[in-house]
Amino acid sequence: MQPIRSRQSADVVALPKCTSSSFGELAARRRSARKFSANALSIELLSNLLQETLGVTGRLGKSEEGVPGYPLFPYPSAGALGALDVYLIVRHVAALAPGIYRFLPDTCCLERVSELNTSVAAKALLDDSTVDRSATTLVFVAVLRRLTHKYGIRSYRLAHLEAGHAAQNVVLHCTATGLSSFTSCAFHDRDMSALLCVDGLTEIPCYVVHFGNAA
């Protein structure tokens, strides 16, 4: 089977030759990389990555009675409803105790959820030794209740699309800063939910990005 669509008729319009750009150069260099060094990831690199790819970048609408407008992100969000929570399984990050953390995108803090039980985390990630060597695994969790009042059963689809947008930001940032990363859906749903302390029904782990220093 052809992996990409190619010409099927004579009726084609050749587009102008692509001019080079820093975005094009970055996007062309992005590759999934599954080899990680044992060196701890610097907390400054982690912080920059989280803030620049997933942090709040603006507000939509007026503040009312001390409640700010809807947060806006560096990725598109259906209805600007911010469907995602971001969790980190931290293994080797300098100055950060191993554990499960939740990223707070408006204040750019990490909220500790629990200590890291390495065997439970490994089981949730299907005992993949490649993943165990990454400094951290970022898990996108779709928080469906933020969408369902507006989008009903389409919410599930919209939250997953949003996770794809956000994950692309993360992997491009890794490329830009020389980190290895790859995205994956290879996890056990119930074990991952238990690891993150989410119910797996209204808050659903949907996509992960493993990243760390390149080997």
Ligand X SMILES: Cc1cc2nc3c(=O)[nH]c(=O)nc-3n(C[C@H](O)[C@H](O)[C@H](O)COP(=O)(O)O)c2cc1C
Residue 88 burial class via C-beta count within 10 angstroms: exposed 0-12, middle 13-18, buried 19 and up: buried
β-sheet bridge partners, residue 90: 99, 136
Q: How far is CA 186 from the centre of its chain?
A: 14
Shortest Cβ distance from residue 183 to ligand X (Å)?
A: 5
Shortest Cβ distance from residue 32 to ligand X (Å)?
A: 3
β-sheet bridge partners, residue 141: 85, 205
Shortest Cβ distance from residue 70 to ligand X (Å)?
A: 27
Taking the least distance from each CB to ligand X, the nearer of 180 and 193 is 180
Please work out the total of residues on this chain that contact ligand X, with binding judged by CB under 6 A.
8
**Strand pairing class (136-143; 70-72):** unpaired
Taking the least distance from each CB to ligand X, the nearer of 34 and 123 is 34
| Per CB under 6 A, 211 contacts ligand X | no
State which of positions 177-196 bind ligand X (CB under 6 A).
182-186
x-marked contacts with ligand X along 31-50 as a string, rule CB under 6 A: xx-x----------------
Query: Binding segment for ligand X among 5-13, 30-38, 86-94, 142-150 (CB under 6 A)?
Result: 30-38
SS3 content of the chain, % helix, strand, coil (to 5): 35, 25, 40
**Strand pairing class (58-60; 99-104):** unpaired
x-marked contacts with ligand X along 88-107 as a string, rule CB under 6 A: --------------------
| 102 close to 86: Cβ distance less than 8 angstroms | yes
Shortest Cβ distance from residue 122 to ligand X (Å)?
A: 15
β-sheet bridge partners, residue 87: 102, 139
CA distance 154 to 159: 9
CA distance 104 to 55: 8
Query: Binding segment for ligand X among 28-36, 50-58, 102-110, 154-162 (CB under 6 A)?
Result: 28-36
Query: Binding segment for ligand X among 26-34, 63-71, 134-142, 149-157 (CB under 6 A)?
Result: 26-34
* Contacts to ligand X by CB under 6 A: 31-32, 34, 182-186
